[in-house]
Amino acid sequence: MATEQVISNEARQEIEQLFHHLPHKQAACIDALKVVQKYNRWVSDQALQELAPILEMSPHEIDSVATFYNIIFRRPVGRHVVYLCNSVSCYIMGYEGIYKALKEKLQIDFGQTTKDDRYTFLPIPCLGTCDHAPAMIIDKDLYRDLKPETLDAILAKYE
Amino acid sequence: MERPLTEHIKQDGTALSLKEYEAVGGYQGLRNALKMSPADVMNAVKDSKLRGRGGAGFPTGVKWSFVPMGDNAPTPKYIVANGDEMEPGTFKDRLLIEGNPHQLIEGMIISAYAIGAGMSFIFLRWAYHEAADRITRALQEAYQAGYLGNNIMGSGFNLDMDLHTSVGRYICGEETALLNALEGKRANPRNKPPFPQVSGLFGKPTIVNNVETFCNIPHILAKGAEWYISLSRSEGGGGTKLYGASGKVKRPAIWELPLGTTLGEIFEEHAGGMLEGYQLRGLLPGGASTDFLTPDHMDIKMDFESVAKAGSRMGTGTIIVMDDKTCPIGMCLNLENFFAQESCGWCTPCREGLPWTAKILLALEEGKGKPEDIDHLTFQTHYNAPGNTFCALAPGAMEPLQSALKYFREDFDEHINTHRCKYHN
């Protein structure tokens, strides 16, 4: 019985456009994983199987790449990903208080997703905005100079 | 005081458009370069004494000179901008890219002309979403204006440029690991030799330079090597340097200053000294992978030689300040957790040694430290020393630790003797 395709035709077309400027298809592996994630939020086993013939790689080879990188997800994530910087400048400037406050507000710890599928909470290395520590990114939006009391308003923007 | 790299960056935080960049002399360096031979462009960069701004400080023109030239040289050759900027405490390249993306693009075009490259990539870390949008827009403008593509400004020189946004991992900042990432592979570093100049991206001659390095190139070609050298206060290199400070200082920020400005000037005059109620205990002068310096080091010049003589490295030039209310062991634990997580896992000392180091530091912080832990930590600093590991990640990880053991030994002993961390409870 044929399973339903998880990589949409739209995503497939976008992947095929990546081969431009590259000498072989394997070189587009990381960008292809990003495209899958853009449409599906994460990279499932089924997605690896479907990517393999497109990239002319084995699913296992693709998996070895997918599992190497911080922000390619091989497990489902929520609608929004909260990345809290845990590197040194944020550590000095009050990361611990923000971490505790977020843990309390989201009712989850790092690596977990809220039951309503709304947020996934992850630590992330230095976001390169150390003059405005502590900092976090939600999806693609950067938040700086964080204080525990400003977190509610920020989180509320993400349904 | 001249600030060629940042003087035109707008205060409102928006990027310079192509028109705005051209109005302040943008792409004049490229115009000059295209009238010269590639060899003369390379010589101008050599003469300028520009040294790589990514941390290692290798002379840029010398790096380029290892690229095979002439009709029999392999093609295509590649130019790659390292915009991975994942060194904790470092935020200088973000300012350059977001503020003036065309300056980077122009620097890369001139560099490509000097080595005869036909293709170029900007390797940007994923977290810099705003920078990615601005580069994309700037690349479109540059193509439309004929600064990229075929027959650039009627010179017969062709160059394409693409943006690659990465998907994380600190090791991507290592140039050969970066090349593997660009090839779609796991970002493990490669053996050297062969060096990328000879066999780099897809096995072809490749130059990888830091974003800040490329941003210096247009100015060298526009105003000459002699002018560029005159900007510096250091014997060991030309130009200005982007310095920065983070931590509990009054004005954390980035400043473009003459290379060789003293640590004290950066800390006191620019960062404004410590916030009320805090005292300076120590600082990492150039990112997470550099040795601590102390308040006794304020007279040293922030250049490659002077900081090395003081027992550390200038690294990225962005200072991380440790105050008297931050636990040195806690700070080392934070750093070693980062390095342990970001180890690519390729070689044993790094893959095993860094988590081991972090575990010992965690035990100290939790009041479970033992006197022999000091010997274990010291052992790790030797076990992960240069020459024992495949790349510079683990030796870099040991730099803050080995210097903390030297300067803050009493804190280590106190944690062990009192079975607690006084900073946390």
In single-letter form, the type of residue at position B397 comes to: A
Distance in angstroms (rounded) separating the CA atoms of residues B84 and B126: 8
pLDDT at A14 over 70: yes
CATH number of the domain where residue B253 is located = 3.10.20.600
pLDDT at A78 over 80: yes
Distance in angstroms (rounded) separating the CA atoms of residues B221 and B230: 15
Domain ends where: B323, B356, B381? Answer: B323
Domain ends where: B230, B265, B297? Answer: B230
A-chain residues within 8 Å CB-CB of B189? none
Mean pLDDT to the nearest integer, A75-89? 98
Reported ipTM: 0.95
Does residue B245 share a domain with residue B118? no
Domain assignment present for residue B108? The answer is yes
Does residue B152 share a domain with residue B47? yes
Mutation pick from A33, A43, A130 vs chain B, by most beta carbons of B within 10 Å, is A130
C-alpha distance from A19 to closest chain B C-alpha (Å): 11
pLDDT class for A2, splitting at 50, 70, 90? low
Do the chains contact at A131 and B326, CB–CB below 8 Å?
no
DSSP element (H, E) containing A121: strand A119-124
Domain assignment present for residue B5? The answer is no
C-alpha distance from B77 to closest chain A C-alpha (Å): 13
Mutation pick from A30, A58, A95 vs chain B, by most beta carbons of B within 10 Å, is A30
Nearest CA in chain B to A33: B167
Per residue in B200-246, pLDDT (tens digit) is 999 999 999 999 999 999 999 999 999 999 999 999 999 999 999 99
Mean pLDDT to the nearest integer, B292-321? 97
Whether pTM exceeds 0.95: yes
Does residue B167 share a domain with residue B98? yes
Mean pLDDT to the nearest integer, A122-127? 96
Domain assignment present for residue B208? The answer is yes
Residues whose CB falls within 8 Å of the CB of residue A159, separated by 6 or more in sequence, listed in order: A79, A118
Domain ranges (residues) in chain A: 9-66, 80-156
Q: What is the CATH number of domain A80-156?
A: 3.40.30.10
Does residue B28 share a domain with residue B132? yes
Q: Please report the pLDDT score of residue A4 as a whole number.
A: 84
Does residue B153 share a domain with residue B28? yes
Domain assignment present for residue B129? The answer is yes
Write the DSSP assignment of A22-35 as a string of letters: -SSGGGGHHHHHHH
In chain A, how long is the greatest CA-to-CA distance?
56
Do the chains contact at A131 and B288, CB–CB below 8 Å?
no
Q: Please report the pLDDT score of residue A21 as a whole number.
A: 76
Nearest CA in chain A to B331: A88
Does residue B343 share a domain with residue B221? no
pLDDT class for A22, splitting at 50, 70, 90? confident
Does residue B354 share a domain with residue B289? no
Does residue B62 share a domain with residue B209? yes
Residues whose CB falls within 8 Å of the CB of residue B417, separated by 6 or more in sequence, listed in order: none
Domain assignment present for residue B253? The answer is yes
Per residue in B4-54, pLDDT (tens digit) is 999 999 999 999 999 999 999 999 999 999 999 999 999 999 999 999 999
Domain assignment present for residue B364? The answer is yes
Residues of the domain holding B130: 18-230
Domain assignment present for residue B38? The answer is yes
Q: Please report the pLDDT score of residue B300 as a whole number.
A: 97
Per residue in B57-76, pLDDT (tens digit) is 999 999 999 999 999 999 99
- CATH architecture for the domain at A9-66: Orthogonal Bundle (1.10)
Does residue B318 share a domain with residue B339? no
Distance in angstroms (rounded) separating the CA atoms of residues B230 and B350: 42
Q: Which two tokens stand for residue A121?
A: 């909470």
Domain assignment present for residue B349? The answer is yes
In single-letter form, the type of residue at position B125 comes to: R
Per residue in B142-198, pLDDT (tens digit) is 999 999 999 999 999 999 999 999 999 999 999 999 999 999 999 999 999 999 999
Q: Please report the pLDDT score of residue B110 as a whole number.
A: 98
Domain ends where: B230, B265, B280? Answer: B230
Q: Which two tokens stand for residue B263?
A: 């640590």
Q: Please report the pLDDT score of residue A20 as a whole number.
A: 82
Per residue in B250-297, pLDDT (tens digit) is 999 999 999 999 999 999 999 999 999 999 999 999 999 999 999 999
Does residue B357 share a domain with residue B319? no
pLDDT at A24 over 70: yes
pLDDT at A1 over 50: no
Q: b or e along A77-87 (b: 16 or more beta carbons within 10 Å of the residue's beta carbon)?
A: bbebbbbbbbb
Residue carrying the six token digits 């989850």: A108
CATH number of the domain where residue B50 is located = 3.40.50.11540
